[in-house]
Amino acid sequence: MEDMKDIQWFPGHMAKTRRQIAKSLPLVDAVAELLDARIPRASHNPELQQLTRRKPRLVILNKADMADPDLTARWMQYYKKEGCAVITCDSKGGKGVKGFAPALRELLKSQLAKYAEKGMTGRPIRVMILGIPNVGKSSLINRLCGKNRAKAEDRAGVTRTQQWLRTADGVELLDTPGILAPKLDDQEAAVRLALTGAIRDDILDTEALAARLLTLLHNEYPAALAERWKIAADAEGDGFPLLEQAAKNRGMLLPGGVPNTERAAIMLLDEFRGTKLGRITLEKP
Ligand code: G4P
């Protein structure tokens, strides 16, 4: 799936993905949508709801290791109220992955009971994994099925019948996850997608991005900024002025004492993405 990351999304692509998903849907009992726990709203493709509305949905708040635990708990409540099953996951480290199968069994309880009545007890649960690029689909599949299985047969141009990957606890995954387009038409969502690295940040100016992040952190996570960038919680201003201050505070100066805002911006984004500023969530339910 590496090569999918550089694809520019345009309507034709989404149409093709939509067709593929629609074709596979009748084969599965449920869909499992991966969201980035730091940006559950921006990492959700609204078309998906429309497309899969008749299927039970498991929401996986992935990269939970990087997200604010309190807000993750609130997001979990939110999705439960929406009628979804929901788990949190760190597909890189593996934490939470074992909750996948039990959550599906719970979600499909009545359906599984019907199968059992008909004597179809050995029938596996079949699921399609969906999510935007970089949200962690291959990491999760590798965790659930083992590295080699998930990578097998992933060659472009090779026609093959639908294949299933079996997890250790008897769930079957469609071997090709549905790759959804990120929501680029919503400018606010695009900023958050770029901040988390879900989309390449060259579509947006680095300093502008960092300024947006600073405003957000200053409002929601002032302690993190105070600690690492010496920006007081009651500091005046936001955005670019804060970035200038951040550069000054770290001694990042150009000749003539001009704050090197570009260097500070790159550093700040790196620190955020590397969780050096702590576990931060950019959206509230
Ligand atoms: P995709 O198939 O949906 O496109 O996503 P993929 O699994 O390739 O994951 C994209 C990046 O996100 C990878 O990092 C992966 O390690 C990381 N990742 C996935 N799930 C999690 C998670 O739950 N927590 C954390 N912290 N990271 C996660 P990468 O930079 O591309 O590679 P690498 O740094 O792992 O080598």
Query: For 50-94, how does the pLDDT look when each residue is reduced to its tens digit (9 = 90+)?
Result: 788 789 999 999 999 999 999 999 999 999 999 999 999 999 999
Are 66 and 40 contacting, i.e. CB atoms less than 8 angstroms apart?
no
CA distance 29 to 258: 59
Alpha helices in the chain (DSSP H): 11-24, 46-51, 69-81, 100-107, 109-117, 137-145, 147-151, 187-195, 206-220, 222-229, 239-249, 261-273
CA distance 272 to 212: 12
Residue span(s) of the chain under CATH 3.40.50.300 come to: 4-175
Higher-confidence residue: 80 or 47?
A: 80
Torsion of CA 215, 219, 225, 227, to 10 degrees: 170
CA distance 140 to 41: 20
Mutational test site, ligand 1, from 38, 65, 134, 144, max ligand atoms within 8 Å of CB: 134
Q: What angle do CA 277, 281, 285 make, to 5 degrees?
A: 160
CA–centroid distance, 6 to ligand 1, in Å, is: 15
Are 13 and 132 contacting, i.e. CB atoms less than 8 angstroms apart?
no
pLDDT tens across 258-275, in order? 999 999 999 999 999 999
**Measured distance between the N- and C-terminal CA atoms of the chain, rounded to whole angstroms:** 30
pLDDT value for 97 = 96
Selection from 34-43, 140-149, 197-206, 232-241 with the highest mean pLDDT? 34-43
Give 211's contacts (C-beta < 8 A, 6+ positions apart). Answer: 238, 239, 240, 242, 243, 265
What is the rounded average pLDDT of the residues 276-284? 97
What is the rounded average pLDDT of the residues 149-160? 45
For 18, phi and psi rounded to 5 degrees?
A: -60, -45
Q: For the purposes of burial, counting CB atoms within 10 Å of the CB of 157, is it exposed (0-12), middle (13-18) or buried (19 or more)?
A: exposed
What is the rounded average pLDDT of the residues 241-250? 96
Tokens of 252: 């990042």
- Residue 124: pLDDT over 60: yes
DSSP SS3 for 67: coil
Which atom of ligand 1 is the closest one to the Cα of 132?
Answer: 3
Which atom of ligand 1 is the closest one to the Cα of 5?
Answer: 4
Higher-confidence residue: 162 or 142?
A: 142
CA–centroid distance, 138 to ligand 1, in Å, is: 8
CATH of domain 205-273: 1.10.1580.10
CA–centroid distance, 250 to ligand 1, in Å, is: 30
Higher-confidence residue: 154 or 69?
A: 69
Higher-confidence residue: 176 or 269?
A: 269
Higher-confidence residue: 177 or 270?
A: 270
- Residue 155: pLDDT over 70: no
Contacts 24+ apart (CB under 8 A), 9-12: 9/181, 9/182, 9/184
CA distance 231 to 208: 18
CA distance 19 to 41: 24
pLDDT value for 10 = 56
Instruction: List, chain by chain if needed, residues with CB within 6 Å of any ligand 1 atom.
Output: 1, 62-63, 65-66, 89-92, 131, 133-139
The mean pLDDT value of the chain amounts to 88
CA–centroid distance, 175 to ligand 1, in Å, is: 18
Residue span(s) of the chain under CATH 1.10.1580.10 come to: 205-273
- Residue 237: pLDDT over 90: no
What is the rounded average pLDDT of the residues 187-203? 87
CATH of domain 4-175: 3.40.50.300
- Residue 162: pLDDT over 70: no
Higher-confidence residue: 2 or 20?
A: 20
CA–centroid distance, 211 to ligand 1, in Å, is: 25
CA distance 125 to 113: 12
Which of 5-14, 61-70, 154-163 has the least mean pLDDT? 154-163
CA–centroid distance, 254 to ligand 1, in Å, is: 35
Higher-confidence residue: 65 or 7?
A: 65
Indicate which residue's Cα is closest to atom 22 of ligand 1. Answer: 63
Q: How confident is the model at residue 176 (pLDDT cuts 50, 70, 90)?
A: confident
